[in-house]
């Protein structure tokens, strides 16, 4: 259904995405959505960012050197769309009533909940490199290209993020004891 919405703007249309665009959406949907959800913190806002990213991809065809270049562009665009959405959200200073009392935690296993909570407590620049390294299995050079920073900075952020995660998880475990 998303693919139809992407092209037509409604779910009644019959238009289809070109094969290449459909391939890209299917291949990178999880990556884009995971980053958007992590940055935005709610399903609705992540859905909006997800759609913005693929609309940008579809509306203006680009030439990519290889799949790594395409993935880096999608990641960078996702991060930028999230930053833009967060700026708009900060300016409006409104929170929908249904989201005020809901804490998003998509995990049922206690260890996963602990890790999710610890990840969400990290500053965004550290959370992003952790996600790309461990969930997307990207190396420091690839992460650097995707985020527009050098590999040394990626290594530093990963090291600091791991240390922060360790401290967060220790605090959580001590609080439960």
Q: For the chain, how many structural domains are there in total?
A: 2
pLDDT, tens digit, 9 for 90 and up, residues 99-149? 444 455 566 777 878 888 888 889 989 999 999 999 889 999 999 998 999
Is the confidence at residue 8, as pLDDT, over 50?
Answer: no
Cα gap 70→35, rounded to integer Å: 16
In the chain, the percentage of residues whose pLDDT exceeds 90 is 44
Question: Contact at 8 Å (CB) between 132 and 158?
Answer: no
Is the confidence at residue 75, as pLDDT, over 90?
Answer: yes
Rounded to two decimals, what is the model's pTM?
Answer: 0.67
Q: Are residues 59 and 114 in the same domain?
A: no
Question: Contact at 8 Å (CB) between 37 and 47?
Answer: no
Which domain-ending residue is among 76, 104, 132? 104
Which domain-ending residue is among 104, 122, 142? 104
- Mean pLDDT calculated for residue range 62-78: 90
- What is the extent of the structural domain holding 165? 107-177
Per-residue pLDDT band for 53 (boundaries 50, 70, 90) equals very high
């Amino acid at each position: 259904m998303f693919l139809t919405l992407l092209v037509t703007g409604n779910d009644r249309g019959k238009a289809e995405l070109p094969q290449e665009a459909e391939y890209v959406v299917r291949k990178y949907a999880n990556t884009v959505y995971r980053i958007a959800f992590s940055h935005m913190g709610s399903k609705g806002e992540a859905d909006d960012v997800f759609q913005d990213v693929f609309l940008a991809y579809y509306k203006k065809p680009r030439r990519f050197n290889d799949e790594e270049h395409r993935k880096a562009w999608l990641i960078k665009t996702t991060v930028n769309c999230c930053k833009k959405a967060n700026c708009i959200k900060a300016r409006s200073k409104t929170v929908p009533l249904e989201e005020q009392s809901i804490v998003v935690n998509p995990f049922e296993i206690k260890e996963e909940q602990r890790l999710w909570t610890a990840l969400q407590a990290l500053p965004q620049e550290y959370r992003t490199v952790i996600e790309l390294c461990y969930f997307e299995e990207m190396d420091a050079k690839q992460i650097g290209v995707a985020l527009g920073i050098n590999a040394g900075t990626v290594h530093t952020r990963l090291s600091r993020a791991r240390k922060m995660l360790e401290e967060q998880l220790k605090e959580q475990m001590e609080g439960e004891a």
